[in-house]
Amino acid sequence: MIPGLRQIRDFVQHELAYETTGHDYTHIERVVRLAQLILKTEPADEQLVLTAAYLHDVADDKVTTNPAAKRKAITAKLKEVGHDDAFIKQVFEIIDNMSYSANLKRHHQLSIEGQIVQDADRLDAIGAIGIARTFYFGGHFGEIMYNPRMMPRKNMDKSEYRKRGTVINHFYEKLLKLKDQLNTETAKEIAAHRQQVMLDFLSEFVDEWNGLK
Ligand code: ADP
Ligand code: NI
């Protein structure tokens, strides 16, 4: 194992132990596995990719009420395992700019390492796991599953969404679009199948809803 990575993994496992919106430690493990898969075909700095993959959700405002404190904790942990300021800067550059929401206002050009972590994170938002996480997240924030009269909306902010969004609409507003926003060829190949899984699910869901099947 890459030096320092075990301590970072243990730190993240502890940080996300009680997370219940779909960004728990098992999400991190899946993102790390997907990043390792992409690394097989995409030459990049493995240490930076895996470190950022482990840390990418720890200071996110979805999982903590105090992102500033979490950023300090991340910095302290990276220093403790021996990383220099330049490496730490690269890690934050990735985790601050990779999210879908960070890229809504303006597109951030990520390093190749950032592109790999972003692809891995996005792959975990689609397909069968993506379906499961979306319902889990929606339940946590009190969204209803579906309402045929509620159309997908554009430009709705997060707090409004949590009051008026539906889980099914989230697929049309975001998840089905992710496949066209991937960086690497490997991720695009994996996404093609996962996209079909979501499309099949949505069509089945609506048929069952309407009592057609
Ligand atoms: P970002 O990549 O911008 O950080 P999120 O972390 O908010 O995006 O999204 C991660 C996953 O959380 C999504 O793929 C989805 O499964 C779930 N999610 C986010 N927002 C919603 C929502 N409004 N309704 C249902 N699920 C959501
Ligand atoms: Ni994530």
CATH topology of domain 1-104: Cyclin A; domain 1 (1.10.472)
- Domain layout of the chain by residue ranges: 1-104, 125-213
Q: What is the pLDDT of residue 2?
A: 82
Q: Which residue among 121, 137, 146, 177 has the greatest number of ligand 1 atoms within 8 angstroms of its CB, and so is best to mutate?
A: 137
Ligand 2 centroid to Cα of residue 162, in Å, is: 19
Residue 206 pLDDT level (bands cut at 50, 70, 90): very high
Tens of pLDDT, residues 115-142: 999 999 999 999 999 999 999 999 999 9
pLDDT cut 70: percent of the chain above it: 94
The residues pairing with 166 across neighbouring beta strands, listed in sequence order, are: 144
Tens of pLDDT, residues 159-204: 665 566 899 999 999 999 999 999 999 999 999 999 999 999 999 9
Assign 3-class secondary structure to the chain. Answer: CCCCHHHHHHHHHHHCCCCCCCCCHHHHHHHHHHHHHHHCCCCCCHHHHHHHHHHCCCCCCCCCCCHHHHHHHHHHHHHHCCCCHHHHHHHHHHHHHCCCCHHHHCCCCCCHHHHHHHHHHHHCCCHHHHHHHHHHHHHHCCCECCCCCCCCCCCCCHHHHHHHCEHHHHHHHCHHHHHHHCCCHHHHHHHHHHHHHHHHHHHHHHHHHCCCC
Domain 125-213 is of which CATH architecture? Answer: Up-down Bundle (1.20)
Ligand 1 neighbour 127 (Cβ under 6 A): no
Q: What is the pLDDT of residue 152?
A: 79
- Interval 21-48 mean pLDDT: 97
The residue that leads in pLDDT, 150 or 15, is: 15
Task: Identify the residue whose C-alpha is closest to ligand 1 atom 15.
Answer: 134
Q: What is the mean pLDDT of the chain?
A: 94
Give CA–CA dist 174/176, Å, rounded: 6
Q: What is the pLDDT of residue 171?
A: 97
1-104 and 125-213: same fold? no
